[in-house]
């Protein structure tokens, strides 16, 4: 639809002989913006596919672990059956020995005492084996229950992050096409804001439009207090050329920009300050090549990474 609209505007501009150069230039600029937006949507679609593939891989891993637990359970059940059969055989042997010992008592008391000692040893071994099997069976049931609980907890975390992404997308709809993207991958939600929305060149002061977007994100975070929030500042690889003494390099600039975002979020009383972390990545984590102006524009950004707290899942994994 975007491509058709773009071509229509271009054809209209070409075929209309009385259109001024300014109007023609405006149409060309709109066509360029629409192409950029189309590429952005394609990038977002690819990122969502990667996130889906990662989730499917994680899900397959959990299924494999579940199957292994089931195999362990079946193995223990087989061991229990074999031990039970062994117990019955020992009981038969015990009865036979008891009978033999009675018949041989008159002729050989010493042999009888040996037989009784063997019986006592077998009884002790049987009792020990029964205790071991009972413990194995209890451990198997407990592990199966924990695996089920873990599956439910992971599914709930994934659903919560999906809902969070949908909430952010709805709340930030007004900033679509202004350098703001939202995606979910690796169990986290990423809110990326290009510098054109937030900062002037060489500055770490957040502009009015960018501040509106950050305030919206902070409101969503205030309603979701159980999230860890990492704010990362990123630059392109152009050397910093701002005022000497205030900023040393791109890394310093990216850190100040990340801190500026944290400060705005901190103005919301519902946002837990202990959940916020500011980090500068400078030019060292680019999204695209810095060889083109478009690539540099994509690399100059703030990324807000929202991660669910996984303490409960980690504890359960350690207990399995």
Q: Which of 72-76, 116-120, 121-125, 308-312 has the lowest mean pLDDT?
A: 308-312
> In Å, how far are 202, 233, 249, 251, 279 from 244, measured between CA atoms?
11, 20, 10, 15, 22
The single residue listed with the structure tokens 């902070």 is 218
pLDDT score at 320: 58
Confidence of residue 10 (pLDDT cuts 50, 70, 90): low
Using left for φ > 0, alpha for ψ between -120 and 50, and beta otherwise, residue 245 falls in left
What average pLDDT does range 289-299 have in this prediction? Answer: 94
Confidence of residue 34 (pLDDT cuts 50, 70, 90): confident
Confidence of residue 2 (pLDDT cuts 50, 70, 90): low
232-282 pLDDT, tens per residue? 999 999 887 665 567 888 999 999 999 999 999 999 999 999 999 999 999
pLDDT score at 25: 86
> How high is the mean pLDDT of the chain?
82
Domain 172-319: CATH class, spelled out: alpha beta
Round to whole Å and give the CA distance between 191 and 182. 5
Count how many Cα atoms sit within 13 Å of the Cα of residue 166 in the half-sphere of its side chain. 6
3 state DSSP class of 107: coil
Round to whole Å and give the CA distance between 211 and 206. 6
The percent of residues above 70 in pLDDT, for the chain, comes to 85
The better pLDDT of the pair 124, 213 is held by 213
Cut 0.75: pTM above it: no
User: Residue 150: pLDDT above 60?
Assistant: yes
pLDDT score at 6: 54
pLDDT score at 232: 97
Q: Domain coordinates of the chain in residue numbers?
A: 1-159, 172-319
Round to whole Å and give the CA distance between 286 and 241. 20
Buried-state track 19-35, b at ≥16 Cβ within 10 A, e below 16: eeeeeeeebeeebeebe
Round to whole Å and give the CA distance between 193 and 214. 9
pLDDT score at 13: 53
46-89 pLDDT, tens per residue? 877 887 777 678 778 868 877 887 887 888 778 878 877 877 88
The better pLDDT of the pair 310, 239 is held by 239
SS3 per-residue string spanning 59-80: HHHHHHHHHHHHHHHHHHHHHH
Determine the longest span between alpha carbons in the chain, in angstroms. 132
User: Residue 311: pLDDT above 70?
Assistant: no
DSSP lists the bridge partners of residue 245 as none
Q: Please give the full DSSP string across 282-314, using - where no structure is assigned.
A: ETSS-SS-TTSHHHHHHHSEEEEEEEE--HHHH
């Amino acid at each position: 639809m975007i491509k058709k609209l773009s071509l229509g505007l271009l054809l209209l501009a070409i075929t209309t002989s009385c259109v001024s150069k300014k109007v023609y230039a405006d149409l060309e600029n709109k066509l360029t913006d629409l192409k950029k937006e189309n590429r952005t949507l394609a990038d977002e679609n690819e990122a969502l596919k990667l996130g889906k593939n990662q989730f499917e891989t994680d899900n397959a891993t959990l299924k494999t672990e579940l199957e292994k637990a089931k195999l362990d359970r079946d193995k223990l059940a087989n061991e229990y059956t074999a031990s039970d059969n062994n117990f019955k055989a020992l009981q038969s042997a015990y009865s036979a020995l008891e009978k033999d010992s009675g018949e041989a008592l008159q002729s050989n008391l010493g042999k009888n005492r040996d037989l009784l000692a063997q019986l006592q040893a077998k009884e002790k071994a049987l009792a020990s084996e029964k205790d071991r099997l009972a413990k194995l069976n209890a451990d198997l049931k407990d592990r199966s229950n924990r695996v089920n609980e873990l599956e439910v907890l992971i599914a709930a975390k994934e659903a919560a992050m999906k809902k969070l992404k949908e909430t952010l997308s709805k709340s930030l709809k007004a900033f679509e096409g202004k350098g703001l993207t939202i995606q979910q991958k690796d169990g986290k939600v990423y809110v990326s804001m290009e510098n054109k929305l937030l900062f002037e060149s060489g500055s770490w002061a957040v502009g009015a439009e960018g501040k509106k977007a950050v305030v919206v994100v902070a409101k969503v975070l205030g309603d979701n207090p159980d999230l860890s929030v990492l704010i990362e500042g990123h630059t392109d690889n152009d050397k910093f050329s701002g005022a000497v003494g205030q900023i040393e390099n791109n890394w310093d600039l990216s850190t100040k920009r990340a801190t500026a975002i944290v400060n705005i979020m901190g103005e919301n009383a519902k946002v837990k300050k202990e959940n916020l972390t500011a980090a500068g990545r400078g030019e060292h984590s680019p999204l695209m090549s810095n060889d083109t102006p478009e690539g540099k524009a994509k690399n100059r950004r703030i990324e807000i990474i929202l991660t669910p707290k996984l303490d409960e899942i980690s504890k359960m994994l350690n207990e399995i």
